[in-house]
């Protein structure tokens, strides 16, 4: 397996403005969130990137992208039928190849030298498998993510064989159906917003689209159809995800970028000053 294409979905009504927001990246440069995402994909060795956008946003996205290095294509999603449908819009761009996919309203900050996408692609290529990045997540956040149940692969602390997947489960559903041995109580393995997928996923999404019409199908439903048919693993990536669409999501992502970058000491100094001023104002 060689992953040379990526798809970023960014056309959702509640999502489409977020990749255009400006943040200060770890290198101290002001960039759009979109550009940070494109750089993440480029770091993983991707040669071509397709960004699924609302047709009215193409020019703004092109301006926000700059020149990321890999060849860039904009794929229109004219009809708001959800996340899985957005991927289908990129079917012609992908062709018959495996591809890296991530959502446009998240950012990822790795703990080590390798980027999150770089780590995920390396696992997919070495295992010759579809791989979904996951992160241990408190049950109070289950309403935001798809989640999996599975078993840790012997000798690999970061890899799991998946045996169940549910889109945005309730805590009761998760407790009953998404067991992962060794995970701490009240936590579940939730999707990270990043996958390496085979081109066959489009066939499974087609089935979900047909079953869900006229409702919106979920990618989790299409992924569930991989179980027992194709090799599909979960990888606990050495990174943290930041959901820009959450309350204070942009602020939290900016703080994380600042604390992980070259201006860390300056950011810490400013935070300390802010907290001190707040403390003085409260005690006055």
Q: Is 205 strand, coil or helix? A: helix
Q: What is the pLDDT of residue 282?
A: 73
Q: Are 222 and 84 in contact (CB under 8 A)?
A: yes
**Helix %, strand %, coil % for the chain, to 5?**
40, 30, 35
Q: The tokens of 157 are what? A: 């602390």
Q: What is the pLDDT of residue 178?
A: 94
Look up residue 196 and give its DSSP letter. E
| 3-state SS, one letter per residue, for 87-111 | HHHCHHHHCCCCEEEEECCEEEEEC
Give the C-alpha separation, 211 to 213, whole Å: 6
Q: Which fold has domain 5-283?
A: Spore Coat Polysaccharide Biosynthesis Protein SpsA; Chain A (3.90.550)
Q: What is the pLDDT of residue 217?
A: 75
Q: Where are the domains of the chain?
A: 5-283
Q: Are 74 and 92 in contact (CB under 8 A)?
A: no
Q: pLDDT digit of tens for each residue in the chain (284 aa)? A: 899 999 999 988 888 999 999 999 999 999 999 999 999 999 999 999 999 999 999 999 999 999 888 999 999 998 878 888 899 999 999 999 999 999 999 999 998 888 999 999 999 999 999 999 999 999 999 998 999 999 999 888 789 999 999 999 999 999 999 999 888 889 999 999 999 999 999 999 999 888 876 677 788 889 999 998 999 999 999 999 999 999 999 999 999 999 999 999 999 999 999 888 887 777 66
Give the C-alpha separation, 124 to 230, whole Å: 13
- Kindly give, in sequence order, each residue whose CB lies less than 8 Å from that of residue 221, ignoring residues fewer than 6 positions away: 84, 167, 208, 211, 212
């Amino acid at each position: 397996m060689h992953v040379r294409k990526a798809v970023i979905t960014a056309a959702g009504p509640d999502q489409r403005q977020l990749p255009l927001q400006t943040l200060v990246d770890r290198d101290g440069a002001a960039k759009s969130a979109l550009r940070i995402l494109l750089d993440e994909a480029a770091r993983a060795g991707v040669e071509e990137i397709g960004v699924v956008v609302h047709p009215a946003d193409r020019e703004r996205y092109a301006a926000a992208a700059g020149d990321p290095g890999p060849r860039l294509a904009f794929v229109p999603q004219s009809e708001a039928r959800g996340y899985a449908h957005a991927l289908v819009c990129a079917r012609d761009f992908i062709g018959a190849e495996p591809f890296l996919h991530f959502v446009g309203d998240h950012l990822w900050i790795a703990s080590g030298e390798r980027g999150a996408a770089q780590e995920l692609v390396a696992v997919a290529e070495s295992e010759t498998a579809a791989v979904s990045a996951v992160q241990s997540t408190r049950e109070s956040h289950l309403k935001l993510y798809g989640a999996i149940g599975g078993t840790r692969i012997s000798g690999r602390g970061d890899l799991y064989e998946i045996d169940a997947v549910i889109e945005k489960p309730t805590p009761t559903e998760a407790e009953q159906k998404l067991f992962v041995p060794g995970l701490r109580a009240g936590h579940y393995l939730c999707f990270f917003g990043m996958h390496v997928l085979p081109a066959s996923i489009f066939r499974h999404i087609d089935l979900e689209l047909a079953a869900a019409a006229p409702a919106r199908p979920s990618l989790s439903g299409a992924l569930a159809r991989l179980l027992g048919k194709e090799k599909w693993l979960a990888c606990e990536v050495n990174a943290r995800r930041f959901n820009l669409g959450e309350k204070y999501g942009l602020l939290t992502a900016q703080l994380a970028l600042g604390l992980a970058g070259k201006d860390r000491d300056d950011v810490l100094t400013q935070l300390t000053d802010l907290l001190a001023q707040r403390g003085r104002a409260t005690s006055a």
